[in-house]
């Protein structure tokens, strides 16, 4: 496809953070804004670059070679190349109308500010998580969190419905959390917030965020639903699983995935394997290469598992997840509760078994099970008996029927939100207007 930037007067620079769960929604936002007439430049790192073949409409700018383990070094490393883009300079045909950056690429707000260009932050997580994260410094300063066991079921003051155990921090990652809070507080914040959620899912958290940050806020999700379908995966999608799904019966298959980051050890792999095997339910299981410690892929699966399961189960390295969740044969999603996965599941009305591990996943799980009531939680250390019972409950039990009904109703509400007059539809129009008329307040 011929690039159309010469005909596009307003250009937006989108700054990616190089992890799958961050890159996907930013690229989706890029295609939505492209369809609204903006020229799009994607600034990305050499690590985990997007594939330009999948996005011929965008321009790309390499903005650094980071050490992915260190968020501050990524920000320092990427600053100069973005600065060199001379954001303020107008070309013959287009001018930079704004910089939209991932919340972890906070340096971009400073660069934009130096160049007198509006900056907007894209939050790729839920509004409830952003709110909880913003409350952490206060909770920590107050000492209330430190005195609480991070497994406590006690309600967190002012963060209803979250309990201390749902907070995006635990004793193990406390140091990293404190470091991130400290780093982020040093940088200039963007004056506008775009968030990948929608009013029918998070009405209250969105209102509370608006009050908290006092900046224009646009809930334009689920981006997976409003953006065009081009692939954003870093790993190759095994499309052959769709042919396998085609041979399964309606809503019979449990799809199992822990996203792009979560890891397992051999013991957990064994429990999951026997839980799936003993449930007698067909399953499609994503085991990411390298996601089981001390192995390359599935070498540590227990003996006898494959024979026991036969054709009833399929294991892949990476699935075309959106297509899988939209497939007629998929009736449930055992998920780690990454926000993209949750939104993709909700958008297709697929009920969930939630199995959160860290950060925002625990907040998301609370909303899945307690607020929207579209899933059941598998809590604590995984054990084959619990897994088998949870699968049977979701896929076959009476409770499962009610959960599925609520998931379908929520999907219908999401569908309405993206149609003309819906909250996402309106927020996208408002955002476009904002960018075109340059009404963005200066930093
Ligand atoms: N995903 C995929 N195929 C897989 C597993 C995951 O395409 O086999 C995609 C999924 O659709 C989602 C993203 O990877 O868009 C994972 O993001 P999420 O926020 O759910 O979790 P994270 O990987 O950040 O923990």
Architecture of 241-416 per CATH? 3-Layer(aba) Sandwich (3.40)
Predicted confidence at residue 2, as pLDDT, reads 44
Ligand 1 within 6 A of CB of 232: no
| Per-position DSSP letters for 316-334, written without gaps between them | ESS--HHHHHTSTTEEEEE
**What is the Cα–Cα distance from 347 to 418, expressed in whole angstroms?**
11
140 C-alpha to center of ligand 1: Å?
A: 31
Mean pLDDT of 291-299: 96
- Helix and strand element counts for the chain (H, E): 17, 13
What tens digit of pLDDT does each residue of 186-216 get? 666 788 999 999 999 999 999 999 999 999 9
In the sheet where 253-257 sits, what is the strand order? Answer: 313-316, 283-286, 253-257, 330-335, 352-354, 375-377
Q: In the numeric block, which tokens belong to residue 308?
A: 């026991």
Question: Ligand 1: does its nearest atom lie under 6 Å from the Cβ of 340?
Answer: yes
Whole-number Å distance, alpha carbon 260 to ligand 1 midpoint, is 6
pTM of the shown model: 0.95
At residue 151, does pLDDT exceed 80? no
- Kindly give the residue spans of alpha helices, DSSP state H, lying in 196-285: 199-213, 223-226, 240-246, 266-279
Q: How far is the CA of 179 from the centre of ligand 1 (A)?
A: 26
> What are the structural domain ranges in the chain?
4-230+420-437, 241-416
Residue 70 CA to residue 48 CA, distance in Å, equals 15
Average pLDDT over residues 406-411: 98
Cα of 233 from ligand 1 centre, angstroms: 8
The reported pLDDT for the residue numbered 14 is 96
Q: Sorting pLDDT into bands at 50, 70 and 90, what band is 439? A: low
Contacts of residue 163, defined as CB under 8 A and 6 or more positions apart, other chains included, come to 152, 153, 154, 155, 156, 366
| CA 321 to centroid of ligand 1, rounded, Å | 7
Q: What pLDDT, on a 0 to 100 scale, did the predictor assign at position 176?
A: 75
Superfamily of domain 4-230+420-437: Glycogen Phosphorylase B; (3.40.50.2000)
Give dist(CA 223, CA 228) in Å, integer: 9
Lookup result for tokens 């397992």: 264
Give 65's pLDDT tier (boundaries 50, 70, 90).
confident
Report the C-alpha dihedral over residues 61, 64, 66, 72, rounded to 10 degrees. Answer: -100
Task: Give the mean pLDDT of 362-375.
Answer: 98
Residue 369 beta carbon below 6 angstroms from any ligand 1 atom = no
Identify the residue whose tokens are 């507080």. Answer: 185
Cβ of 341 closer than 6 Å to ligand 1, yes or no, is yes
CA 261 to chain centre: 12
Confidence of residue 5 (pLDDT cuts 50, 70, 90): very low
- Ligand 1, atom 17, residue with closest C-alpha: 21
Query: Rounded to the nearest 5°, which phi and psi values hold at 338?
Result: -60, 145
Q: Which atom of ligand 1 is nearest to the CA of 318?
A: 8
- Our answer on whether the CB atom of 255 is closer than 6 Å to any ligand 1 atom is no
Structure confidence by residue, pLDDT tens digits, 221-243: 999 999 987 889 999 999 999 99
Supply 130's token pair: 């952003």
């Amino acid at each position: 496809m011929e690039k159309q930037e010469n005909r596009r007067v307003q250009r937006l620079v989108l700054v990616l953070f190089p992890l799958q769960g961050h890159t996907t929604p930013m690229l989706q936002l890029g295609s939505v804004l492209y369809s609204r007439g903006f020229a799009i430049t994607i600034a990305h790192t050499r690590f985990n670059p997007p594939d330009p073949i999948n996005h011929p409409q965008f321009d790309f700018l390499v903005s650094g070679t980071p050490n992915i383990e260190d968020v501050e070094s990524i920000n320092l490393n990427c600053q100069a190349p973005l600065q060199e883009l001379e954001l303020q300079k107008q070309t013959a045909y287009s001018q930079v109308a704004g910089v939209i950056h991932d919340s972890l690429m906070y340096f971009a707000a400073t660069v934009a500010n130096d160049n007198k260009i509006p900056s907007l932050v894209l939050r790729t997580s839920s509004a409830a998580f952003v709110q909880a994260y913003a409350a952490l410094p206060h909770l920590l300063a107050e000492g209330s969190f430190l005195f609480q066991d991070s497994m406590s079921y006690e309600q967190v003051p002012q963060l209803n419905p979250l309990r201390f155990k749902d907070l995006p921090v635990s004793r193990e990652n406390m140091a990293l959390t404190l470091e991130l809070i400290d780093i982020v507080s040093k940088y200039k914040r963007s004056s506008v917030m775009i968030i990948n959620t929608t009013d029918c899912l998070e009405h209250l958290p969105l209102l509370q965020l608006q009050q908290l940050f006092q900046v224009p806020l646009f809930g334009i999700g689920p981006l997976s639903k409003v953006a065009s379908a081009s692939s954003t995966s870093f790993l190759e999608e095994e499309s052959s699983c769709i042919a396998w799904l085609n041979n399964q019966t309606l809503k019979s298959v449990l799809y199992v995935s822990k996203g792009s980051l979560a890891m397992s050890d051999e013991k957990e792999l064994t429990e999951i394997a026997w839980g799936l095997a003993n449930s007698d339910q067909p399953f499609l299981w994503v085991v990411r290469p390298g996601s089981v410690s001390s192995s390359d892929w599935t070498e540590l699966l227990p003996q006898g598992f494959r024979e026991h399961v036969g054709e009833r189960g399929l294991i892949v390295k990476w699935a075309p997840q959106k297509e899988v969740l939209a497939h007629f044969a998929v009736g449930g999603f055992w998920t780690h509760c990454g926000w993209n996965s949750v939104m993709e599941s909700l958008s297709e009305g697929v009920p969930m078994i939630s199995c959160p591990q860290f950060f925002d996943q625990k907040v998301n799980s609370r909303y899945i099970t307690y607020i929207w009531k579209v899933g059941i939680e598998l809590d604590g250390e995984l054990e084959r008996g619990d897994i088998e019972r949870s699968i049977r409950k979701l896929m076959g039990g009476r409770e499962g029927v009610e959960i599925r009904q609520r998931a379908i109703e929520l999907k219908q509400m999401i569908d309405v939100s993206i149609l003309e007059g819906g909250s996402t539809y309106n927020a996208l129009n408002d955002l476009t207007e904002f960018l075109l008329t340059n009404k963005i307040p200066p930093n």
